[in-house]
Amino acid sequence: MPAAVSLRPVEHADLPILYEHQADPAAAAMAAFPSRDLATFVAHWTTIGVVESVVARAIVVDGEVVGHVVSWLEGDRREVGYWIGRPWWGRGYATQALARLLEGLPDRPLFAHVAAHNIGSRRVLEHCGFRPIEEVEADGVMESIFRLD
């Protein structure tokens, strides 16, 4: 059984840790999402930190930030996403964190996009009740769109 995760609002002091997670080339390849430079990364998080419709939480295990989980509005759709630092992959933390986030999000349906080759992330979504509804190509990457009703 994996260690229990807790969620808390992302703090400015978390940004260097979250930056390193997304700067990992293997993680960026798995997510099929380009890493941002530090200034762009901090500016993005500073911006989303003041958007009322964004719910951003640090994922904490044994006092250590291991990733983040987030929800935002994309047009009229509420989306969810998450990022776990590579040292903590495969331990069930993303699944636990997403399940906890979902408990506090009354909106349905919810949507998530995942690179088709990212089997671990697909499993996280499926464990949390999401089902694939569509395959699309975005910027040369095949993505699966998942939905939770």
Counts for the chain of helices (H) and strands (E), in that order: 5, 7
Question: How far is it, in rounded angstroms, from Cα 25 to Cα 29?
Answer: 6
Residue 49, pLDDT score: 85
Assign domain 5-107 to its CATH superfamily.
Gcn5-related N-acetyltransferase (GNAT) (3.40.630.30)
Residue 2, pLDDT score: 64
Of the candidates 66, 63, 99, 65, the residue with the CA atom closest to the CA atom of residue 84 = 66
pLDDT confidence tier of residue 138, bands split at 50, 70 and 90: confident
Q: Mean pLDDT across the stretch 136-142?
A: 88
Residue 1 is classified by DSSP as: -
pLDDT in tens, 19-32: 999 999 999 998 88
Q: Mean pLDDT across the stretch 53-58?
A: 96
Rounded to 5 degrees, what are φ and ψ at 85?
Answer: -60, 140
Domain extents for the chain? 5-107
